[in-house]
């Protein structure tokens, strides 16, 4: 029994010591990490003039989606690099929410659109999911991008739809919901007058998807009209 116990320690103790060393090294590495520098996120978002949810939606109106998507990808890459080597900011941090919303924009406009990234494998997967909600959403956005030429003419109009500075950070939820709906409906009306009802409805849906990732209210149900 003694020799069996001795063999047990000889076989498993070195592994335990190695495991303990790995754990200590991991903990030490985490202690060396600093909290993510918010200014680095601000500087990257500023490259695309993103200071509000409306400005992310406005990216759709830029004349060249190809060039814009390259910029978006570069900004996201720099932010990802910053986040990966630091302690992440809270999920409710404004700039983290803007980053997540921009990442959503990138997924729907840049990664899906064959005219920007040409991800054929991804396209095939989506097209094979014809009955899923995901497929319907991507299909709708694909149709929206087909109206891009008209959307570029909406650039100034959508600027007029913007809410006052920092409206989405106000503590009064009734006021936040009021601005939220005013902006969404303004997008719809401007697009309907210039591009037609179908792209207007799709833009309204897309605007809602972008904004709800940034605007914080207890219940979005009361914000919907």
pLDDT of residue 144: 82
Alpha carbons 142 and 193: distance in angstroms, whole number: 21
The answer to whether 41 touches 96, Cβ cutoff 8 Å, is yes
Q: What does the alpha-carbon distance between residue 183 and residue 204 come to, in Å, rounded to a whole number?
A: 9
pLDDT for 11 equals 53
Domain of residue 152: give its range.
35-223
**Count: domains in the chain:** 1
Is residue 1 one of the residues assigned to a domain?
no
Q: What six digits make up the tokens of 24?
A: 């200590």
Q: Determine the Cα–Cα distance for residues 64 and 109; give it in Å rounded to an integer.
A: 12
Q: Is residue 5 part of a domain?
A: no
pLDDT at 88 (0 to 100): 82
The answer as to whether 214 is a domain residue is yes
How far apart, in whole angstroms, are the C-alpha atoms of residue 81 and residue 136?
A: 32
> Is 158 within a domain?
yes
**pLDDT, position 115:** 47
By CB atoms closer than 10 A (0-12, 13-18, 19+), residue 53 is buried
What confidence score (pLDDT) does residue 65 get?
87
In a domain, 187, yes or no: yes
Q: What is the pLDDT of residues 80-132, one digit of tens each?
A: 999 988 888 888 899 999 999 999 999 888 875 544 444 434 444 444 444 44
- pLDDT value at residue 219: 52
The Cα angle at residue 35 between residues 70 and 20, in degrees rounded to 5: 110
Residue 6: inside a domain: no
* Contacts of residue 156, Cβ cutoff 8 Å, sequence gap at least 6: none
Helix axis angle, 197-211 to 133-145, nearest 10°: 120
Nearest residue to 48 (alpha-carbon basis) of 99, 104, 121: 99
Distance of CA 39 to the CA centre of its chain: 18
**Per the domain annotation, does 123 fall within a domain?**
yes
pLDDT computed for residue 122 by the predictor: 40
Task: Give the Å distances, CA to CA, from 166 to 40, 94, 149.
Answer: 20, 10, 30
pLDDT number for residue 108: 85
CA of residue 66 relative to chain centroid, distance: 18
Residues 6+ apart with CB under 8 A from 129: 135
Whole-model pTM: value is 0.74
Which residues of the chain are under the pLDDT cut of 70? 1-32, 112-142, 217-225
- Reported residue count of the chain is 225
DSSP class of residue 33 equals P
Indicate whether 23 belongs to any domain: no
């Amino acid at each position: 029994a003694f020799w069996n116990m001795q063999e047990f320690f000889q076989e498993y103790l070195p592994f335990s010591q190695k495991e303990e060393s790995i754990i200590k090294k991991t903990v030490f590495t985490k202690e060396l990490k600093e909290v993510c520098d918010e200014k680095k996120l601000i500087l990257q978002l500023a490259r695309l003039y993103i200071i509000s949810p409306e400005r992310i939606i406005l990216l759709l109106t830029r004349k060249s989606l190809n060039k814009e998507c390259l910029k978006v990808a570069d900004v996201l890459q720099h932010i990802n690099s910053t986040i990966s080597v630091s302690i992440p900011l809270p999920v409710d941090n404004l700039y983290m929410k803007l980053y997540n919303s921009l990442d959503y924009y990138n997924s729907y406009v840049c990664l899906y659109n064959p005219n920007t990234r040409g991800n054929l494998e991804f396209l095939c997967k989506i097209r094979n999911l014809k009955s899923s909600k995901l497929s319907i959403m991507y299909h709708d956005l694909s149709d929206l991008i087909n109206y891009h030429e008209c959307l570029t003419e909406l650039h100034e109009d959508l600027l007029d739809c913007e809410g006052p500075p920092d409206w989405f950070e106000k503590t009064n939820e009734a006021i936040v919901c009021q601005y939220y709906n005013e902006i969404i409906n303004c997008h719809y009306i401007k697009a309907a007058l210039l591009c037609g009802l179908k792209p207007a409805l799709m833009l309204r849906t897309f605007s809602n998807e972008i904004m709800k990732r940034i605007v914080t209210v207890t219940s979005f149900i009361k914000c919907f009209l």
